[in-house]
């Protein structure tokens, strides 16, 4: 059991190019969403919702928006970073089996949320944990997930009829895959590498890595 969990954590990958587009069975999708729905949440608010997007027309419209936002980012890059970025695929919206838009409602739980009085973002953290549960469960099911954040929140709210006070936190491409890469795409394409764990661990005070 323990080894299986660590194995899933190690195999989890952000997927863009490896989607096959085959259907995901309804019971598998429900298990993955149930795993997401079991996430911890501040004050038990469960501030997430999941919009399952299968409609090809909606997906194409969103893909076109993401393509234009990719251009906005590309235009901000210095020349040599741009050349590297040009080689990187940032979404598999139409190639994946379906999209899951994970939303966050800060209003859920009312005004007296236990544990959120000092840190408003604790609400958002909860929704992010649901996403991580989903991502790991999908990996355990042999599926791939790709997180897309190249979009304007208002655009996605309007496209899917999401209320103005509910934030679309992520468009997750979910689907069957040919395989999962062992090295993250951004590392394989020379954009950024993983930091050594020792650099991230501090003992007692920030500066002490010993």
How many other CB atoms are found less than 10 A from the CB of residue 84? 14
Residue given tokens 């929140």 in the structure block: 153
| Cβ at position 204, least distance to ligand FMN in Å | 29
| Cβ at position 110, least distance to ligand FMN in Å | 27
Tokens found for residue 50: 């999941």
| Cβ at position 12, least distance to ligand FMN in Å | 7
Of 27 and 199, nearer to ligand FMN (C-beta) is: 199
Of 93 and 98, nearer to ligand FMN (C-beta) is: 93
Of 114 and 142, nearer to ligand FMN (C-beta) is: 142
Of 43 and 156, nearer to ligand FMN (C-beta) is: 156
| Cβ at position 49, least distance to ligand FMN in Å | 18
Ramachandran quadrant class, 115 (left: phi over 0; alpha: psi -120 to 50; beta: rest): left
Helix (H, G, I), strand (E, B) or coil at 200: helix
| Cβ at position 185, least distance to ligand FMN in Å | 6
How many other CB atoms are found less than 10 A from the CB of residue 73? 12
Q: What DSSP line would sit under 113-164, residue for residue?
A: -TT-SS-TTHHHHHHHHHHHHHHHHHHHTTEEEEEE--S-HHHHHHHHT--T
How many other CB atoms are found less than 10 A from the CB of residue 185? 19
Of 127 and 176, nearer to ligand FMN (C-beta) is: 127
Nearest to 96 by CA among 12, 180, 11, 177: 177
Of 11 and 37, nearer to ligand FMN (C-beta) is: 11
| Cβ at position 174, least distance to ligand FMN in Å | 14
Measure the CA–CA gap between 127 and 139, rounded to whole angstroms.
19
Which residues of this chain interact with ligand FMN, rule CB under 6 A? 13-14, 16, 90-91, 147-150, 184, 186
């Amino acid at each position: 059991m323990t080894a299986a969990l660590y194995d899933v954590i190690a195999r989890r990958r952000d997927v863009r190019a490896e989607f096959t587009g085959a259907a995901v069975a309804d019971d598998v999708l429900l298990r993955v969403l149930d795993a997401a729905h079991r996430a911890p949440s501040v004050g038990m608010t469960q501030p997430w919702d999941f919009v399952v997007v299968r409609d090809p027309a909606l997906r194409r419209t969103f893909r076109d928006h993401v393509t234009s936002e990719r251009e906005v980012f590309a235009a901000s890059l210095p020349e040599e970073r741009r050349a590297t970025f040009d080689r990187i695929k940032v979404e598999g919206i139409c190639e994946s089996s379906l999209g899951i838009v994970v939303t966050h409602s800060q209003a859920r739980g009312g005004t007296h949320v236990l544990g959120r009085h000092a840190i408003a973002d604790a609400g958002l953290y909860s929704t992010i944990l649901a996403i991580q549960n989903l991502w790991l469960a999908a990996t355990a099911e042999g599926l791939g997930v790709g997180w897309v954040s190249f979009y304007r929140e208002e655009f996605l709210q309007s496209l899917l009829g999401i209320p103005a006070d509910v934030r679309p936190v992520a468009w997750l491409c979910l689907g069957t895959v040919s395989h999962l890469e062992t090295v993250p795409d951004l590392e394989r394409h020379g954009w950024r590498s993983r930091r050594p764990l020792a650099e991230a661990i501090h003992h007692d005070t920030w500066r002490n890595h010993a």
